[in-house]
Amino acid sequence: MAEEPTGFWHNPWVVGTGTTVLGGGAFAGVQKALEKMAATSWPWWAYLVTAFTGGVVALLGFLWWKAKGTRTVKKKRNFKYDRYESLYRILGDGAYVQLVQIGVVAKYGDVDQITTRYSWSGEGTVEQQIVPAEVATIQAQAEPGPFERFAIRFASPIKKGERRDFALLRRINQTGRDPRPYLKQESKYEQDLLILCVMFPSSQFPKKATYVERDEDGSLLEQHALIEASLLGLARKEIRKPRVGHTYCIEWVWE
């Protein structure tokens, strides 16, 4: 019965990592070469080569393991948002309006549709339409969880390098619990400019408003006060080149 090969280069972790990084055939060649060197009298430089090769394999294996365990948030798309502006207006008496203005640019190929999702944190009805209506149609798609997913299908494809502008108008009527006091946008696609804006009713300005940015893990990256909210009833923030996977938010406190 033949003995199983032993030694550093036959360690299961080393074999698995080397096979994944270099490929089965290439790593087997490395094994044979190093074993042949080990069976002879090594010159000083052979030890350096072996140590260097082992270090490279270990480093590449670690980087591969880390990349595998990291959630990938950036998705390759053939379009980007040249501009994404979300205006949320609180009218009072349970009435709200949100206007989302979007400029879509085709990076390569034709773009005939995009997808978006939306969730209002309060309890009520949401009516949604595209403005102008002839630019595109909107179709709901099933998605588990608190979000509603929609496909926006353009009347004609956007050609490479072209831009198409449209808006999503949402009319919201509250029928139950109050919405949470924030306007939040997660950057799902590449964007040049993101604008968040909240308009408060003249009868009730917030005590304070704050701009907050968090990364994909929820870690706080930036936070500062928007003092104009309590003085003018308007909170606005421009973000240039927002990071994919990051969340940008305007939060406020009434009392």
The residue-averaged pLDDT of 243-255 equals 95
pLDDT in tens, 92-135: 999 999 999 999 999 988 999 998 888 899 999 999 999 999 99
Residue 157 near residue 109, CB atoms below 8 Å: no
pLDDT in tens, 59-101: 666 666 555 544 434 456 889 999 999 999 999 999 999 999 9
The residue-averaged pLDDT of 227-247 equals 95
Question: How much of the chain exceeds pLDDT 90, in percent?
Answer: 60
Which comes out higher in pLDDT, residue 134 or 21? 134
For residue 157, the surrounding DSSP H or E stretch is strand 148-158
Q: Would you state the pLDDT for residue 222?
A: 96
Q: Would you state the pLDDT for residue 74?
A: 46
The residue-averaged pLDDT of 213-241 equals 95
Place of tokens 């052979």: 46
pLDDT in tens, 134-187: 999 988 876 665 678 889 999 999 999 999 999 999 999 999 999 999 999 999
Cα separation, 83 vs 192, in Å, equals 6
Report the chain's terminal Cα–Cα distance, integer Å.
81
Q: Would you state the pLDDT for residue 112?
A: 93
The residue-averaged pLDDT of 190-216 equals 96
* CATH numbers and ranges of domains, the chain: 8-69 (no CATH), 79-253 (2.60.40)
For the cut 90, the answer to whether the pLDDT of residue 14 exceeds it is: no
Which comes out higher in pLDDT, residue 38 or 228? 228
Q: Strand, helix or coil at 168?
A: strand
Q: Would you state the pLDDT for residue 33?
A: 62
For the cut 60, the answer to whether the pLDDT of residue 232 exceeds it is: yes
Q: Strand, helix or coil at 52?
A: helix
Which comes out higher in pLDDT, residue 243 or 68? 243
Q: Would you state the pLDDT for residue 73?
A: 41
The residue-averaged pLDDT of 225-254 equals 95
